[in-house]
Amino acid sequence: MRTVAIRADASYDIGTGHVMRCLALAEGLRNSGSKPIFLSRNLPGNISNKVRESGFQLIELPPPPDSSARLSRRKNSTVADLLGVSWEQDVCDCQAALAGVDVDAYCVDHYALDRRWEEKMGRDRSFMIVLDDLADRPHQCHLLLDANLGRKKEDYVSLVDNGTSLLIGPGYALLRPEFAMWRKRSKERRIDGELNSVVVSMGGADKANVTGRIISAFADMNFGPEFKLTVILGQSSTCVKQVRKMLENLDFQSSLKVNVSDMAATMSENDLAIGGAGSTAWERCCLALPSLLVVMADNQRAGAEALADVGAGILLGYDADFEAEFAAAITKMQIRDNLRLMSTAAASITDGKGVERVCGIIASMNA
């Protein structure tokens, strides 16, 4: 396999997880001798600079006519609206962007695209890879990956053609190599099981500023001056100034990191993480890092519940009872045995070698 065209978007409404996991896969493909090219639409809150800074070519698709309007502010918006244009227009834009490029394979990671897009883009019989989490629409591809815990191959049987290779479960989670590198050290520091430090990372965009509500909840609790809170915000965050001011008013140690380049190291230095239930959940599991899971999107709920069921995290509802649930969860995590047990459960979910496995399978299928 030589040139791989990767179709994924990031925005305030979509978040950054799709592009970030595609970056992890792209790094593995590049190390295997392929040339990944990203196709991303110019949407508010994109992280195209992150892709380019990682050394990959990115072709920016034209912004939609109403790209200044956030979906979160519209009524009756649907998953299809995340694309910004019709799927037909997206095909036209992608084909125009790739004119003259000999594409050997496509990888698509977008909830608004399905079999129709894949048929049009793969009509030259190029190898087609789909990354999905929902199992809610048909696909035409050679390989489909869904890393959700609790997902079964049977969920996709009626949605793909016979012969499609299905890579299911967090063993195939697409994590950057730094997480596997930090796994051993991170596991070793969990032996004591004390809660002295917490890291909060609600994703690259955090459009609802969940981070701010979490900081407020911490402020209402009684921690000694030795306690440390680390907050991580992505480059797409719009609440940096507000969060920084909130942290300055806390009675214990705190720090704010924006657009971090050493995420695995930062996470591994903490005793507990608070975050979403998307791709970052697998990062925390790889590091054996206990978690409080805040579900901000319906598509994350099943995965969060599966993690909670196996003891790898505590699920928090983001509603009127959030503060009470949060305080109860923190109190529970101050018990040593609880932290140790959750760390062990999390570590059993994934070892961080999903990219290596997936790239090996892709190579064997194209041998």
Q: Tell me the angle at which helices 354-365 and 17-31 cross, rounded to the nearest 10 degrees.
A: 60
Q: Which residues are part of the catalytic machinery?
A: 18
DSSP helix/strand/coil, 121 = helix
Candidates 118, 120, 121, 119; CA nearest to 130 is 118
Q: Name 286's Cβ contacts closer than 8 Å, sequence gap at least 6.
A: 173, 175, 179, 180, 183, 347, 349, 350, 351, 352
Compute the distance between CA of residue 66 and CA of residue 355 in angstroms, rounded to an integer: 36
Task: Determine whether the annotation assigns residue 323 to a binding site.
Answer: no
Residue with tokens 């214990």: 252
DSSP helix/strand/coil, 19 = helix
Candidates 271, 272, 237; CA nearest to 256 is 237
CB 170 within 8 A of CB 147: yes
Compute the distance between CA of residue 180 and CA of residue 195 in angstroms, rounded to an integer: 23
Helix (H) or strand (E) holding 85: none
Task: Determine whether the annotation assigns residue 357 to a binding site.
Answer: no
Compute the distance between CA of residue 259 and CA of residue 80 in angstroms, rounded to an integer: 28
Residue with tokens 């065209």: 5
CB 290 within 8 A of CB 342: yes
What's phi and psi for 250, nearest 5 deg? -80, 155
Residue type, 96: A
Residue type, 286: C
CB 287 within 8 A of CB 182: yes
Compute the distance between CA of residue 118 and CA of residue 96 in angstroms, rounded to an integer: 16
The DSSP 8-state label assigned to residue 297 in this structure reads S
Q: Which two tokens stand for residue 239?
A: 């609440």
Compute the distance between CA of residue 196 and CA of residue 228 in angstroms, rounded to an integer: 7
Beta strand 197-201 with 165-168 is unpaired
**Per the annotation, where are the binding residues?**
176, 283
What are the binding residues for substrate? 176, 283
